[in-house]
Chains A and B, each alone.
Chain A
Amino acid sequence: QVQLVQSGAEVKKPGAAVKVSCRASGYTFTGYYIHWLRQAPGQGLEWMGWINPNSGDTNYAQKSQGRVTMTRDTSITTAYMELNRLRSDDTAMYYCARASSVRGVISYWGQGTLVTVSS
């Protein structure tokens, strides 16, 4: 079965960086896009961008551009999302999710990684 397993919770200080991993199993990793989304406490969902695990191509939401980097390691079927220059309003649950294409339905989700930014 399709599984996306994310790394554990992180606590970071303002200005630091965080790198969240998303290990995929149960399907051909390079055959589907990975999207990253986040959800601040008590708030709605926000799309951050996508990576094509086959080519490594990426596209980031305008709000994320300049601070986010999405990468992948096909040898271990894992995608990564790194967010730099963290601020308190980056405190959120971060999700990776699978889609058949850029505009394809986001169907399977990881369990989420809580990132807390606090001094």
Chain B
Amino acid sequence: QSVLTQPPSVSGTPGQRVTISCSGSSSNIGGKTVNWYQQLPGTAPKLLIYNSNQRPSGVPDRFSGSKSGTSGSLAIRGLQSEDEADYYCAAWDDSLNGWVFGGGTKLTVL
């Protein structure tokens, strides 16, 4: 049981826009920022979004993040086949004094 809640799966067709939600609480997302990671099959996670809405250099601007209250959201526009991966949200949790993650969302590009 993950501390942050994500939908297990989402899907879309090439060119579409999809969003992935991440629900937390006041001890994590509510008082902190959200980070998002992309994990391609058989590889280590890669930082996609940090501080809720910032993109590291090299990440396409098709990826964007937002936060409202105790929830975060990742949006991917102009969906491409190479976006097919697992996506994880993460936030620092003051109560647990550690990093907590969502259970991951598998994105399928139809």
Contact = CB atoms under 8 A, between A and B. Distances in A.
Give chain A's interface secondary structure class. Answer: strand
The 8 residue pairs across chains A and B that have the minimum distance between CB atoms: A47-B99, A109-B44, A105-B50, A45-B101, A44-B103, A103-B92, A44-B104, A61-B98
A106 B44 contact: no
Interface in B24-69: 32, 35, 37, 44-47, 50-51, 56
A111 B99 contact: no
Contacts of A95: 44-45
A105 B34 CA distance: 9
Given A105-B35, A109-B46, A110-B44, A35 B96 contact: no
Contacts of A107: 47, 50, 56
B102 interface: yes
B100 interface: yes
A106 B101 contact: no
Nearest to A37: B99
Contacts of B90: 45, 106
Contacts of A61: 96, 98
Contacts, number: 48
A44 B51 CA distance: 21
Nearest to A110: B44
Contacts of B35: 105-106
A4 to B, nearest CB: 9
Given A61-B98, A106-B35, A106-B99, A44 B2 contact: yes
Contacts of B104: 44-45
A106 B97 contact: no
Interface in A4-55: 35, 37, 44-47, 49
A21 B44 CA distance: 16
